[in-house]
Chain A
């Protein structure tokens, strides 16, 4: 069949509605009798709640109710669950509102429900909470020191879990016989996601049917429903409908079940009116799950030829005050398993200590574990290349897993299905004109100008799967995806996908797949998602899983549709089914293309069933649940070129080349957009972003005036290219592209700055590489 849509850089069908302000976000919705919630949040990082006085707030005109954590627990509300359990892990309760103690700044202690937002905010200031402040700790390493204030009685040493992967003895042995080793301490700082749309929730309870409806900014409405219904509020799952309408970005932060949506759902029944809450940006800073926050000691060992012998990694992962929905998985199975990178490393040993602190919970943030792993691997590769006096590109090339070794079993559990790492490296080197650039770098250094070239040869594991394996690793959910394809009598098609789009462009990319498979115009295809009332149970969108898992589920359903349609067509054409060909939306008998039945004619007959194959059910729809055989493994090489002003320490990015391999590309325009956004976020971590807590665990970087997100003028024009190594085990040959940029860019940028600073003998500076840090490093190097 001729491809008409797959691979075409179509403009996104959803964009006209977004750019003309016609999107429908949770905060745009209203209901008759709607009232508003304002959260009363703790100003302390750690304190005992001695008393909460509601009276003044309740007396404020327009206030309908004030509830506390005690009210919720007494009505039977349970702890928010954790969706990934590790052996021996401590799992202290996490109630939607604090009951006896607060454990991070911003934790909710009470909710005010009022007739409008202003009244709710006014009255929230009137709720008097008596606190007894307690000592607090924000830093993961400090939380492990003896005598550190304990976050939970259940974990007096603040250790949530100790986890390891790989062969310790074999790795120690490799280091003993190493020719050279390098060691570095790396801080992968805490990031604050900042999706453009703040989180929001609106809930309604219908006493006539005993049913709840929750509209929420969710990347996975079915998961929200399951967790909230079965674990927290005790609502029968079929009595709770969760709708996630247009959602303005997530980056992971909208995966998790949060206190706020739980509170408004519960409160809607208590007050007998629909209740809405929308985060203010300052609330987002303290209540959206944060990302990263690792302190790592990493070592690499090589033999005389510069071939890697082993890697040893020890990481403290700060989990925050409570376990967010998937928190334990991120610094373990999504981190330790990625430490082989693109390289043949005979042995790796990694141990991770998950630590509670008095900070906002930490969970998946774009890349989730994989950027942290890539940062460790790619910093080590650069440091070793420098140690050996080798070119960083050539040192990498020498240690790549060669193309003929796939499938490749790493020493850290994953089996890579495919890859051609040298292909991407060569393409990137050519694009940047590497030899000439090195010559120019030398020349400029003589003039006192410092440019640097940084590499990141990354691998990503996305579309985490299969369900049986992730279940054995502690996941409390399957990681398949669903798709229901419904063909209407006129041949128009509605697809109900369990994936969720919040910026990824599914309404276009999935429609391209469907239109091609069925040979129909893309205008005839509608993609529906985000409503548990209409979409089959699905797992949602995160971890770059939509195309490889969600897209594959759609393809399976389309295959079922085509099989049934062929039976109907064969009947209409009075031919044997196996003789019927389907091409460009037409069924015909092999060799007789002029006598055909269109897809639309067949669809109509499926619903008329007047002239119909005996024994065949009428109707034309199919659903599928696709459980992948493996992860998919996108990879690539990113090269960043920077110039450092040695006087001020300011970094300017001169060029950025990205060569990514995400298999077959459904829509190059969307893929490019994903790469652009990802690189921006990765550069953001390298140069600008970072949550800052003071000694009292107060968040100092709690607004966009303090927390620096990358902007257009911080970034160069990205130079983007692809190689195509199709995924061998899914029907589309696609991999994920949503996180590659973030995974690669941080390491590439930091490596570039360290390369620029090499003449000063500077080996490492922790992120973000702010001008003052660089200036101080240069001062120190000059003084030495």
Chain B
């Protein structure tokens, strides 16, 4: 566990961090360090320099503006898990955060770092898709927002451009009649999601108005189960309907496969976990 040598720079402000990234274009941004440092220790990542944004105050905190919750990129998984505000405004996120790693990891790892790293088995991407989140980034050309649907490009790849820093995550306040759930089948060793399914449903008069389903772990990047979402719109979310909509919902083709779980098994888990998540979410929406 001995990384190759690297330069280390600590930024005090976002502007300073952006300047450092301009100065050291090969540098990697360091936040909680729980994705990047292990890769460096294994020498799978050998960046010549790190820009540590861990103490940039403007990237911290959780606040609300009208119907939107704004979460600073440096918010730790632990802070998300135990945030009283989030439990009221967007309880899906605390439920998801509780599944990430273990307490030491949750104390250090950050939501921005996790999203920017875009591990295909990370938990947050499923939630971002289900919530219809937007992600704010600041770069040399100023500020922009990226819809979650456009953010995850591929394995460990996002829409972030070189020199950009992820600053905020915007998620909607989950109002009355909205149900949510996260179902995760963890890998027994890594505890990453073999499959993780996040669901948000809006129910009016017992009928599903909108369902959004984000799936992580199954494929090289998190994706939405749009076929199931469409099949359920306007339907009652009872066991039979949900079962019919989720059966064989994903084709194994293109899914990840490893010695613990084949693509076929992952496809099966997608169906089972989506059904379970939908039924739990429907119960909460009622």
Contact = CB atoms under 8 A, between A and B. Distances in A.
Interface of A: 117-118, 121-122, 125, 280-282, 647-648, 650, 688, 692, 700-701, 704-709, 714, 770-772, 775-776
B259 A281 contact: no
A47 B8 CA distance: 40
Given A647-B272, A708-B260, A770-B188, 17 more contacts: A117-B2, A122-B4, A125-B43, A282-B42, A648-B185, A648-B269, A701-B259, A707-B189, A708-B188, A709-B189, A770-B260, A771-B261, A771-B265, A772-B262, A772-B265, A775-B265, A775-B268
Given A704-B189, A772-B265, A692 B1 contact: no
Contact of A692 (B4, B187, B259): B259
Contacts of B268: 775
Given A118-B5, A648-B185, A701-B259, A706 B269 contact: no
Interface SS majority for chain A: loop
B190 interface: yes
B176 to A, nearest CB: 32
Contacts of A701: 259
A706 B189 contact: yes
Contacts of A771: 185, 261, 265
B47 to A, nearest CB: 15
9 contacts: A118-B2, A282-B42, A688-B188, A688-B189, A701-B259, A705-B189, A706-B190, A708-B188, A772-B262
Contacts of B192: 705
A648 B260 contact: no
A122 B260 contact: no
Contacts of A648: 185, 269, 272
Interface residues of B, number: 20
Nearest to A706: B189
A771 B42 CA distance: 29
Interface string B245-278: 0000000000000011110010011001000000
A701 B261 CA distance: 14
A121 B46 CA distance: 13
Interface in B155-205: 185, 187-190, 192
A704 B189 CA distance: 6
Nearest to A710: B188
Contacts of A776: 265
A708 B189 contact: yes
A121 B4 CA distance: 8
Contacts of A117: 2
Nearest to A707: B189
A688 B265 CA distance: 17
Interface of B: 1-2, 4-5, 42-43, 185, 187-190, 192, 259-262, 265, 268-269, 272
A450 B279 CA distance: 22
A642 to B, nearest CB: 15
Q: Which 3 A-B pairs have the closest CB atoms?
A: A708-B188, A708-B189, A121-B2
Contacts of A772: 260-262, 265
B123 to A, nearest CB: 16
A466 B154 CA distance: 63
B106 to A, nearest CB: 15
Contacts of A707: 189
Nearest to A690: B259
A269 B42 CA distance: 31
A138 B272 CA distance: 36
B5 A705 contact: no
Contacts of B190: 705-706
B218 to A, nearest CB: 14
Contacts of A714: 188
Nearest to A768: B188
Contacts of B188: 688, 708, 714, 770
A118 B40 CA distance: 13
A706 B192 CA distance: 11
A701 B258 CA distance: 11
Nearest to A645: B272
A514 to B, nearest CB: 40
B239 to A, nearest CB: 13
A259 B261 CA distance: 36
Given A701-B259, A707-B189, A714-B188, A281 B1 contact: yes
Contacts of A709: 189
Contact of A122 (B5, B185, B261, B265): B5
A692 B261 CA distance: 13
A492 B268 CA distance: 67
B146 to A, nearest CB: 29
B49 to A, nearest CB: 17
Nearest to B41: A280
Contacts of A281: 1
Contacts of A692: 259
A122 B259 CA distance: 32
A181 B43 CA distance: 55
A280 B43 CA distance: 13
A650 B272 CA distance: 12
A139 to B, nearest CB: 15
A571 to B, nearest CB: 63
A289 B226 CA distance: 49
A125 B5 CA distance: 13
Contacts of A280: 1-2
Which residue, B4, B5, B192, B268, has most C-beta atoms of chain A within 10 A?
Answer: B268
B3 to A, nearest CB: 8
Contacts of B185: 648, 650, 771
A700 B185 CA distance: 21
A49 to B, nearest CB: 23
A756 B212 CA distance: 36
Contacts of B259: 692, 700-701, 706
A171 B58 CA distance: 79
A125 to B, nearest CB: 8
A776 B264 CA distance: 10
A125 B265 CA distance: 39
A708 B2 CA distance: 23
A125 B192 CA distance: 30
Contacts of B5: 118, 122
B178 to A, nearest CB: 27
Contacts of A125: 43
Contacts of A705: 189-190, 192
Nearest to B273: A648
A126 to B, nearest CB: 12
Contacts of A704: 189
A648 B192 CA distance: 17
Contacts of B42: 282
Contacts of B269: 648
Nearest to B194: A771
A772 B266 CA distance: 9
A651 to B, nearest CB: 11
A201 to B, nearest CB: 17
Nearest to B2: A121
A118 B189 CA distance: 28
B257 to A, nearest CB: 11
A650 B195 CA distance: 14
Contacts of B189: 688, 704-709
B46 to A, nearest CB: 10
Contacts of B2: 117-118, 121, 280
Nearest to B260: A770
A191 to B, nearest CB: 14
A118 B187 CA distance: 32
A35 to B, nearest CB: 15
A688 B191 CA distance: 13
A776 B265 CA distance: 9
Contacts of B43: 125
Contacts of B187: 708
Nearest to A121: B2
Nearest to A692: B259
A778 to B, nearest CB: 11
Nearest to A280: B1
B100 to A, nearest CB: 15
Contacts of A770: 188, 260
